[in-house]
Each structure stands twice: as structure tokens, then as C-alpha cells.
Amino acid sequence: TGGHTTEILRLLSCLSESYSPRHYVLADSDKMSEAKIRSFEQKRAETFSKSQFTLDCIPRSREVRQSWISSVVTTLYSILYSLPLTYKRKPDLILCNGPGTCVPVCISAFLLGLLRIKRTIIVYVESICRVETLSLSGKILYYFSDYFIVQWPDLKKKYPKSVYLGQIV
């Protein structure tokens, strides 16, 4: 939501027309991001006439300040909700940047890969505001992502699997 959506849309604005269709997954309570995405896609359609996208909503996996114990339950519910969606969309690539909503989707895609149903490349871009430590999503997806991108050199030192590209958003 908010800043995460702005960051991911900045990244998407650099992608070519070949990255279509795009499937956005939002928390069901996130109306602000839906409006931003629709506006972004409307502008993109002016340049790329064959541009296609979908918007799907899943239950929010974790609310801000939600207790750890209850967030385990809500995250498991989101993963179960995400599995049929991920199976239906069968993405080649998941590009995500930190909101908790990305964790169930990435874990669902990872599970489909383990089951040899569909192999999806997972690219996680840690938010630019994470200078010294990873976000909770980053701490989880560090182990599930194919490419883990950080925007600060200190994070590269702490997390050797990561790829440091400098400030990309």
C-alpha cells in the first residue's frame, strides 16, 4: 500500500511492452493501491496499446501492529487463498517489493514449483527505506526468492545472497 505501490509502479514503468499481461495482487482492504494501479495502467495504455493487466485481491496476511500469533493464522489463510489464484495465473515472474501481501503469493508460487506444476521466478526488491535491516517480508522471502535485490550497500554486506544495484526506485 502507499509507498510500496509507488515504488513498484516506478519499477514497472521501466519495463518493456513484452511484460504483458501484468497481474497485480492486492490486499482486499487496499483501495488506495487499486486506484494508483488503474491510473498507472491507463497512462501506460496510451504508449502501449496492447497493454493488458488484471487486479486480484487476497485477504490481508498481516495488519500493521497485528500480534505475531494471530498473523501466523491470517498468513496461512492468505496462502491458502493465494494457491488457486497463483495456479490460475501461472506467472512466469513475480516482482514484489515488500508489503505483506507478497509473502502468501510468493510462497504459493514456490509451492507450485515444488509440485512441478509451474516454475515461477521470484524477484524481491527490498524497499529503498530499508537501509540497515530487512523488512519482515524481506526476512521471509530472502529464502524463497530467486533474486533478492537491495538498494543499500550495508544490506548487501549483511545478506550475501542479495544483489546490490544501488537506488533503483
Name the least confident of 1-5, 29-33, 143-147.
1-5
pLDDT, one tens digit per residue, over 17-64 is 889 999 999 999 888 999 999 999 999 999 888 889 999 999 988 777
Is the residue at 159 inside a domain? yes
At 119 the pLDDT is 97
Percent helix, strand and coil across the chain, each to the nearest 5: 45, 15, 40
Q: How many CA atoms lie within 13 A of 59 on its CB side?
A: 13
At 106 the pLDDT is 97
Is the overall model pTM greater than 0.85, yes or no?
A: yes
Q: What angle do CA 83, 86, 90 make, to 5 degrees?
A: 140
Is the residue at 8 inside a domain? yes
User: What share of the chain in percent tops pLDDT 90?
Assistant: 70
Task: Look at residue 97 and tell me whether its pLDDT is greater than 70.
Answer: yes
C-alpha cell recorded at residue 16 = 518493456
Specify whether the CB–CB gap between 118 and 89 falls below 8 A.
no
C-alpha cell recorded at residue 39 = 491510473
Task: Look at residue 104 and tell me whether its pLDDT is greater than 90.
Answer: yes
Name the least confident of 66-70, 74-78, 125-129.
66-70
At 168 the pLDDT is 84
Q: What does the radius of gyration of the chain's CA atoms come to, in whole angstroms?
A: 16
Asked whether the bond before 91 is cis by omega within 30 degrees of 0, the reply is no
Question: CATH no. for residue 28?
Answer: 3.40.50
For residue 81, the surrounding DSSP H or E stretch is: helix 68-89
Is the residue at 169 inside a domain? no
Give the residue carrying C-alpha cell 519499477.
11
Task: Look at residue 99 and tell me whether its pLDDT is greater than 80.
Answer: no
* Spatial distance between the Cα atoms of 83 and 4, rounded to a whole number of angstroms: 23
| Residue 74: Cβ within 10 Å count | 17
Provide the number of structural domains found in the chain: 1
Q: Please give the residue range of the domain that contains residue 22.
A: 2-164
